[in-house]
Amino acid sequence: MKRSVLRSIGVGLLVISVLAVPGAPQAQQSATQQTDGFSVLGSILLSVLHIPLKFVTCVGTQTGAAVAYTATFGVPGNYDGGTNGKQIGEVARRSCTGDWIITPEQVSKDYQ
């Protein structure tokens, strides 16, 4: 009983998290490119796998960057006599940017 309640809550949270993430800006489709059901299904399935992996990568990189920044504070860097903090911050920022949701158009473009 308890296991099924926890499973239901987990599925509900997963669905809410997928629906709560703001959608990517939609561009107008050309007349030759149409989205079929397989692309939509692939988009949903791949996004369900991609979002947690992207989240873990983002959090892990942020944590690693914080440790690296703290450990190398004050160490001269490779640019104009500055420290490595700028480079570490750029790596951490890029791990969390980009597409979090895989669109049906991307699936149809990549898998046709």
pLDDT at 88: 82
Q: In this predicted model, what pLDDT tens digit does every residue of 10-60 receive, in sequence order?
A: 777 666 665 665 554 444 545 445 668 888 999 999 999 999 999 999 999
Query: Does 90 have pLDDT greater than 80?
Result: yes
25-43: burial string, b at 16+ Cβ within 10 Å, e else: eeeeeeeeeeeeeebeebb
Q: What is the DSSP letter of 111?
A: -
Task: Round to whole Å and give the CA distance between 74 and 68.
Answer: 12
Contacts of 38 (CB under 8 A, 6+ apart): 107
